[in-house]
Amino acid sequence: MSGATTLPDSVRAWAESVVGPLTSLDDAPSAACSSPSRVWEVTAGRQGGGDRFWVKLAASPLAFTRETFAHRHAVSYLGPGRAPRLTATSAQHLALITTTVPGTPLSALTATGAALEAVHRKAGALVAQLHQAGKPTRAAREEAGRALRHTADRAERSVRAAGEQLPPAEREFMLAHTAGLRDAGRVPLGYIHGGLDEHALRWSGVRAPLALVDFQRARFAPVVLDFVPLACGPWVGQPRLRTAFFTGYGRRLLPEEKRALYCLTALRAVGRTARQPGPARHFPHHAEGAL
């Protein structure tokens, strides 16, 4: 994610009406996970001190609505220090002001072995809390129940649109996994983060709580969707991290979730390798290493 260096004048005026004069402003590319949103870290108050906030311009009205809802109705389930706190929103500007949270993204941690497993165990416990946040409306539950089928439909449309640009083996691989996703069966629903990669999780040491940032994709959906970025990232080749996460999460994957996760990680892996230069494609490895 990247942000413009200068906060738009209208947004700055609104922010200062909420938190007071801004004495410093920095582009904050690490304030949330990769996204088209723009984020600044600002200081309100005396120079060299004062309170620090993130000012975020959402990428779309939907992203603004989702993030606002998450902060107002779900973040409190995580407990103190585990997520930024909402200070104000402006629908006119698609802007939010939140408190900042300290910490290093998991992607930048140098921890290994048992120390890293402990981090993933805490991550599992934190994500479990989020997944249990609130109760969906009937409409939200019905939409969440259709999410995997819609994901399969989108993937299949992409394959059909690509036509002969896709190698035959890759085309058949994707179509087989879209079919498998439709046949995965009923899976548990919950309130998901929607962008749960290593960058969204912030570690401040063993004495501080693990924190989550960037809720612009948060919504009610199959909880298995939140495991895909981790299954395609740090868990590949490191099954102990996956085990630690689900120990913290409090349960193992159901058979239906295992099938769905296998298909989702396979489709994601294909999407990544399709954008890489060169003729070699080893897309099945990611899916096999994820489970």
- Pair 27, 109 in one domain: no
- Pair 194, 286 in one domain: yes
Average pLDDT on 136-151 reads: 93
Question: Where residue 32 sits, what CATH number does that domain have?
Answer: 3.30.200
Q: Which two tokens stand for residue 90?
A: 């402006």
Q: What's the pLDDT score for residue 26?
A: 84
Which of 153-167, 220-234, 249-263 is the least confident region?
153-167
Which of 69-73, 203-207, 225-229 is the least confident region?
203-207
* Per-residue pLDDT tens over the stretch 23-50: 888 887 554 445 567 999 999 976 556 7
Q: Has residue 281 been placed in a domain?
A: yes
- Pair 93, 133 in one domain: no
Q: Has residue 113 been placed in a domain?
A: yes
Residue that finishes a domain, picked among 99, 115, 136: 99
Which of 39-48, 51-60, 235-244, 253-262 is the least confident region?
39-48
- Which residue segment(s) compose the domain that 41 sits in? 9-99
The domain tally of the chain equals 2
- Report whether pLDDT(290) > 80: no
- Report whether pLDDT(71) > 60: yes
Question: Where residue 163 sits, what CATH number does that domain have?
Answer: 3.90.1200.10
Q: What's the pLDDT score for residue 139?
A: 93
Q: Has residue 1 been placed in a domain?
A: no
- Pair 113, 170 in one domain: yes
Averaged pLDDT score across all residues of the chain: 87
Q: Has residue 2 been placed in a domain?
A: no
- Pair 83, 166 in one domain: no
Q: What's the pLDDT score for residue 83?
A: 96
Q: What's the pLDDT score for residue 25?
A: 85
Average pLDDT on 242-270 reads: 94
Q: Has residue 4 been placed in a domain?
A: no
Average pLDDT on 263-267 reads: 93
Share of the chain above pLDDT 90, in %: 68
Whole-number Å distance between alpha carbons of 85 and 19 = 14
- Report whether pLDDT(241) > 60: yes
Q: Has residue 245 been placed in a domain?
A: yes
- Pair 68, 170 in one domain: no
Q: Has residue 3 been placed in a domain?
A: no
- Pair 81, 126 in one domain: no
* Per-residue pLDDT tens over the stretch 93-102: 999 999 999 8
Q: Has residue 153 been placed in a domain?
A: yes
* Per-residue pLDDT tens over the stretch 188-217: 999 999 999 999 999 999 888 999 999 999
104 vs 288, more confident: 104
